Structure 1
Amino acid sequence: MPPLHLTRLPKKQQRLRQTLERVSQTIPADRRFTEPEINAYLRPIYADYALLRRELIDYQFLARTADGTAYWRTPERTA
């Protein structure tokens, strides 16, 4: 599968959710990341990696500790 690179995030919620799901599938599910590590992972995918990270959290594709020291991919949900 070719590397994922986004030039913009979709505005419509359904397309955004699909895009975030695709992005989340590229993140290893078996480890935790520090904030700098997850940022470094997301930076090549989208220039505003902080927005991408927040959207992934808001849509529950990523979870984090309350103090933001650890991030991890959430288990995949069935439709």
Structure 2
Amino acid sequence: MTKLKLGPIADDKPVKIAVELPAALHRDLTEYGRLLAEGGAAIEPAKLVVPMLERFIVTDRGFAKARRATKE
């Protein structure tokens, strides 16, 4: 199994987003969704955006440090 940063994607109520992505990024998201599905139905790119952004925010040490500094 490939070790990916994202875990299983929760099957939440669908949310529409409107964003323009470069074609290369869309292809990468499509491939990521295929790999994350582990042989099941591929996860569509739109469902990856929120978990990826959440993961990015949680693991961004600079952001966490700046956030703590502004709360003090």
TM-score calculated relative to the size of structure 1: 0.27
Structure with a larger share of its residues in strand = 1
TM-score calculated relative to the size of structure 2: 0.29
